[in-house]
Amino acid sequence: MSNICYLINERQKLLFDPKYVHTLRSNQTLSFEISRYTTVQSESKYATTAIDIDSNGEYLLSGDSVGAVSIHQINELNVHSCNELKPACYEPKTGHKFNINSIKWFPKDTGIFVSGSSDKSVQVWDTNEMSAVEKFKFSGHVYDAQLSSRGGKTSHLIATAISNHQVKLCDMKSGGDTHTLRGHTAAVNNVIWSNRNAYALISAGRDGKIIMWDIRRSNAAVHYFDQFNGKSEKAHNGSVTSLSQTEGGIFLLSSGQDEQVRCWDMTNGENTFTNFGSAACPDVKSVGATVSFNACYPGLLYLPNGSDISVYDILSGQHITDLSGHFGRINAVCFNRVIPQLYSCSGDCTILLWEPPSPESSNEEADGSIPKETPYQDTWSDSEDDS
């Protein structure tokens, strides 16, 4: 075998090495910038309030402040050439009358998605017909609606966070409510299914509480997260504004009106006391934060912070950078699990794509025309001339 053939074979083996892939994606994720080649076009003139990407990284789903829904195909972009992502499907008449606060793909099939709105309803959609096939009505505004990604017996359940202090579980098979989870004393902002346990559900509210539920039990509340690891049952001083978790479900991340980000160890439900500094915006409304996948173990936290996206290392709490580009309050961010990409939506009526820099911009930095520093770069010098 020639040396060239040997090197090619070794290169091919390296491309399938999980350690190599993880290192490569970590480097790419740490260098996100606004895409120079791709712009996301919108048919709507209103603010985009919720986004989601399917597990195969093919379609971007979005909802806006007047109840309209759009779908963009994102897996067929031309590399290093201009792309204008126009909606493959746009439906202005969805049946929702007000703001869409949550929109999610069915985990195993892009033929179904779920939307939750301030018009006190959750709708189940048939993508092929772009019409709602099931509608659940509630007595309060719907702030979040989540489907379990683990499949099994909970795959057909929609967990719903409602302004009337309750968490409701809706069954897509029967078309009715199956559970009502009571424990919050104020509006519930967020709800999320655990990545560790198919029957575990976590909710966060404007009462400062984060509660873990076991939906199989009659007394479903099994744990109240406490910021002091005591008995206060308060995770934040004020409203909890976001919930996100790492890929394996080992860590749960929360932000609050008290301008704090907290990292919770899901093996014991305790606060890790990781110092993120003063991080979150002092707001009562929820935002859609996200965590990177297969990069920078256990991941990076992308937290909307006004018109910027604050990026933090989960283990150390180190503030890595702020991604700036929007001109209005960022409502949600979403990480593409297939390739290193981040999408964000804002009150400025735009959706931005963030991705690793192109080879051209990397060459410019190497030439010294665009200096760029990172928190991991040494800035000291041994030279006595430096002041």
**In angstroms, rounded to a whole number, what is the distance separating the alpha carbons of residues 257 and 208?**
9
Q: In terms of residues, how long is the chain?
A: 387
Domain ranges across the chain: 35-359
**In angstroms, rounded to a whole number, what is the distance separating the alpha carbons of residues 365 and 139?**
55
Checking 2-11 for CB contacts under 8 A at 24+ apart, the result is none
Give pLDDT, residue 22: 66
Letter string b/e over residues 87-97, b meaning 16 or more CB atoms within 10 A of that residue's CB: beebbeebebe
Contact (CB, 8 A) for 158 and 110: no
Give pLDDT, residue 52: 96
Give pLDDT, residue 81: 73
Give pLDDT, residue 30: 86
Contact (CB, 8 A) for 210 and 254: yes
Please list the pLDDT of the chain residue by residue as tens digits (387 residues).
555 665 455 545 444 556 656 677 778 888 899 988 889 988 888 999 999 999 999 999 999 999 999 999 998 877 667 888 899 999 988 889 899 999 999 988 889 999 999 999 999 999 988 889 999 999 999 999 999 877 677 788 999 999 999 999 998 888 777 789 999 999 999 999 999 888 999 999 999 999 999 998 878 899 999 999 987 889 999 999 999 999 888 999 999 999 999 999 999 999 999 999 887 778 888 899 999 988 878 889 999 999 999 999 999 999 999 999 999 999 999 999 888 999 999 999 999 999 998 765 555 544 554 444 444 444 444 444 444
Give pLDDT, residue 80: 65
CATH tag, 35-359: 2.130.10.10
- Cβ atoms < 10 Å from Cβ of 219: 8
Per the structure block, which two tokens stand in for 341?
């990409």
Helix ranges restricted to H, the chain: 3-15, 18-29, 359-367
Give pLDDT, residue 93: 85
Residues 6+ apart with CB under 8 A from 42: 48, 62, 70, 87, 349, 350, 351
- Cβ atoms < 10 Å from Cβ of 21: 14
How is residue 153 annotated by DSSP?
G
User: What is the sign of the dihedral through the CA atoms of 372, 296, 291 and 40?
Assistant: positive
